[in-house]
Structure 1
Amino acid sequence: MTNSIWNRHFETMPREQMKVVQSERLRDVVERVYYNVPYYREKMQQQGLGPEHIQSVDDLKLLPFTTKNDLRDNYPFGLFAVPMSEIIRLHASSGTTGKPTVVGYSRRDIGVWSEVMARTLTGAGAGKNDFIHISYGYGLFTGGLGLHYGGEKIGASVIPISGGNTKRQLQLMRDFGSTVLACTPSYASYLAEAIEEGDINRDDLKLRVGVFGAEPWTENMRREIEKKLKIKAIDIYGLSEIIGPGVSFECQHQCGLHINEDHFIPEIIDPETLEVLPEGELGELVFSTVTKEGLPIIRYRTRDLTRLNFETCACGRTLVRMNKCTGRSDDMLIIRGVNLFPSQIESVLLEMDETTPHYLLVVDRHNNLDTLELHVEVEDRFYQDKISELQALRMKIQNHVESATGLSVTVKLVEPKTIERSEGKAKRVIDKRKLL
């Protein structure tokens, strides 16, 4: 592998020069959202702000925050800054009330996405001679197509196999000579086990690097994947609201994720006071997109907890690095790459007469894949019903939950008043996955 850099101009730009670029782009995006997005104009006017008040990145702290709820409240296209005739792609991620978070891309946005993903893959050591095996899902989820664009941008041979059908995945991985694997870390672990238990020998594969993201994973998990698959496992970070994958990426030194800060300006805030924290402090990650046309976002609260490192990396990149996220400032779970809020489950149960609003989510990891189990209290009058009727109720709940969340779930019906009550905040989730 090499330590090549895709865009040396921006990725190794001196800090002061980067600040000039960011300030110029910030002034431009603030003016665009002020005049083209009623939501931002109203929020800025409420704070007595106009575009003329934002002259540099030092003024970023004056601007209002944006949250996932703001995207939900403006569903589907209320935060778009260009006419729909200029939007050439729509993607979406799960929301808190069944409504997805919708994101739109102009033609130029797709170009930016391709660029940041080219940086990501080059940072992982990929190049035009590689075969990139993409096992991220394609569709409304941004993972598959994001990696796809980056792979084509660097001139690699892209294999858009998407998820599922593990036996076929391994066969094509061997037959096509795949050298780069792109998927969730849990699916990489699953593939490693499938190789150990199947007919294909690891030595028959040409894999040398993996590009993994879309869910939290640990250093222990990284070491296990690297050992079993005999590859270098590279972490990537992204979220659909900002662009999808490509927001930040590890290089081969694996010492923090380089943020593409000429496109996405990061801040770290105290999630309670909302004040910007000093350099190096742990807090909530906030992003402002300064080159996006379709859905530019100002000070988006990711809810992810991390810290920033502004030192130049051993690879030569001067881009600020973020640590692996240590947790979240809200109650969102990430299960098999899908965002899940307990409130989504609650909304489903509140619509049903047969159940109480008392429930417990148990998240675990078996065979390196996340599992979701839902314990639900049944109303007294229904719990006495025949076993066949309880089974029908269980399937009804399971179908409703899977339809609302997009996640497979195992439902367990329990007697009334058996789920622990709390005088404080109700404990709705037990997450047994080891994230140490």
Structure 2
Amino acid sequence: MIPKIEQASKQEIKTFQEEKLAQLLAYLNENSAYYKRIFKENNIAIDAIQSIEDLSKIPVTTKDQLQQYNDDFLCVPKSKIIDYVTTSGTLGDPVTFALTDNDLERLAYNEAISFACAGVGKEDIVQLMTTIDRRFMAGIAYFLGVRKLGAGIIRVGAGIPELQWDSILKFKPTYLIAVPSFLLKLIEYAERNNIDVNASGVKGAICIGEPLREQDFSLNTLSQKIKAKWNIELYSTYASTEMNTAFTECEYQQGGHQHPELIIVEILDDNDNIVTPGEVGELTITTLGIEGMPLLRFKTGDMVKANNTACACGRNTMRLGPVVGRKKQMIKYKGTTLYPPAMDNILNDFNDVESYIIEISHNDIGTDEILIKIAATDPSEKLLQSIKNHFRAKLRVAPKIAFHDKKEILKLQFPKMSRKPILVIDKRA
């Protein structure tokens, strides 16, 4: 189930996207209060935007603008809205997105071709280990996508290893959709209850929310721990509510494939210029085929690297590497630039670390400080020094680390209204 456009030449893909872009600009100019204003204030004639390169003539859209003018982005009357979702509000107030019937159909198509990318077919059964409620787009997207693909689906929701295993043993799913660290909890539960994970029939897991790989696409510590116990394929999928589109790995697991009929991608530097190929920059997206709230040059806040080499699967689309980090969560610490995912990877090396939270703050002289609160099975001075040494070896610096009660950490990780665990608390102004 590879769409023809994904197997077309780079030039054919570009020409196709430029036709779609012209349609989007005309639609926004007619229906979007926000973009009409932007075009007028900046004297932008939309027919002057002929190519992908011409997008640079249009100002970027930021999360702040999306929050401040949320309603102005809506392009349809409220009578056409079928589903309301909100962003998770990881960095700031949540933003509301309104989806029409066509938008839900597009969302289903996106996930169907994304799951097919990872090898899921009609004969498969997929167990959904994430919430489908609480205004969460991802859960409904996964359900609609599996349904469109024609595969079976088991909606278990987040957490509860006992119920997950009950469903796995009862319904024999072949794929799981889960946060990778939760797969470790499933392995632990199975070991305690004499369940043979490798006799379960599960072939693979489509993993959300946490990176599986290093920048060279080798398995990171978390993935290695999973695969050491459970012989399943791990596929990374990356998306956000604003994109309405996913980047999912194929069987070669060399980054998430772009769907060119659904999204235009730019990777920009701090001055909103395209980065040099292979450089890290901020993922900036233009959505195609959305009715309710299309976005033009929206800066996602995620720092990524693109890979444009040909993939053995036959797709000629750009692939996104693992997210390096959130731009707003970049830390300058003792002369070193850090992002939280690099710290996650180090902490995942230690089996004694049960849970943790990373706190970022400013000190008295205005520079960044890091405090990592850890719950450990054996909170000893030896473990503390071992973790610090590991940080120095891998990142050249060691943050402050303090042991805390597991209940206290879990309380910080799961505040009220949160749909997913929070691992970073940024106290900087």
Task: Give the TM-score band, short-chain normalised.
Answer: 0.7 to 0.9
Question: Aligned with 2:328: secondary structure?
Answer: coil
| Contact 1:212–1:235 under 8 Å retained in 2 | yes
Q: Secondary structure at the match of 1:238?
A: strand
Structure 2: gaps spanning 5 or more residues: 214-218, 331-339, 345-356, 363-368, 378-407
Distance 1:13 1:409 in 2: 40
Quote the offset at 1:63 in angstroms: 1.4
Residue 266 (structure 1) shift: 0.6
SS of structure 2 residue aligned to 1:402:
coil
Contact 2:137-2:241 within 8 A present in 1 as well: yes
Deviation of residue 360 (structure 1)?
7.7
CA contact (8 A) 1:269 1:276 kept: yes
Match of 1:155 in 2: 150
* TM-score relative to the length of structure 1: 0.75
**Does structure 1 residue 313 correspond to structure 2 residue 311?**
yes
1:282 and 2:280 equivalent? yes
User: Equivalent residue of 2:84, what SS?
Assistant: strand
C-alpha change, 1:408 and 1:25, in structure 2 (3 Å) is closer
1:28 aligns with 2:23: yes
Residue 402 of structure 1 and its aligned partner are, at CA, apart by 2.5
Looking at structure 2, the residues matched to 61 and 46 of structure 1 have their Cα atoms a distance apart, in angstroms, of 16
User: Could you say what secondary structure the match of 1:55 adopts?
Assistant: coil
Measure the CA separation in 2 of the matches of 1:242 and 1:233.
Answer: 23
What are the superposed Cα offsets for residues 38-89 of structure 1, whole Å, 9 maximum, x if unpaired? 21111222221022221221211111211111121123x3311111111111
Residue 110 (1) aligns with residue 104 (2) = yes
Is the Cα–Cα contact under 8 Å of residues 109 and 148 in structure 2 kept in the other structure? yes
Amino acid at match of 2:285: F
Q: Equivalent pairs: percent with the same residue?
A: 26
Q: Name the counterpart of 1:194.
A: 189
| 2:415 alignment partner, SS class | helix
- Matched-pair contact (CA < 8 Å) for 1:360–1:427: no
Tell me what 1:240 maps to: 241
Matches within 5 A, 1:32-431: 32-75=27-70, 77-95=71-89, 99-139=93-133, 140-218=135-213, 219-220=219-220, 221-243=222-244, 246-270=245-269, 272-331=270-329, 362=372, 402-403=415-416, 428=427
Q: In structure 2, what residue type is equivalent to 1:110? A: L
- Give the distance between the partners of 2:418 and 2:146, measured in 1 at CA: 30
> In structure 2, the residue corresponding to 1:225 is in which secondary structure?
helix
* Structure 1 contact 331–342 (Cα < 8 Å) conserved: no
Contact kept, 8 Å, 2:307 with 2:320, in 1: the verdict is: yes
Give me the whole-angstrom Cα distance separating, in 2, the residues matched to 1:163 and 1:226. Answer: 21
Aligned to 1:372: none
State the one-letter code of the partner of 2:75. A
The CA deviation string for residues 223-279 of structure 1, in whole angstroms up to 9 with x for no partner, is 222232210000001000111xx4211011011111112211111110x22212233
Aligned length: 361
Look up the equivalent residue of 1:118 and give its one-letter code. A
Distance 1:341 1:91 in 2: 28
Q: Is the 8 A contact 2:256 2:320 kept in 1?
A: yes
Given the superposition, is the C-alpha separation of residues 198 and 312 from structure 1 closer, same or farther in structure 2, using an over 3 Å criterion? same
Q: Which residue identity lines up with residue 280 of structure 1 in the other structure?
A: G
3-state SS, counterpart of residue 264 of structure 2 = strand
Q: CA deviation at 1:409?
A: 8.3
When residues 366 and 256 of structure 1 are mapped into structure 2, their CA distance, relative to the original with a 3 A threshold, is farther
Match of 1:223, SS state, is helix
**Cα RMSD (Å):** 3.2
How many angstroms apart in 2 are the aligned matches of 1:120 and 1:409? 26
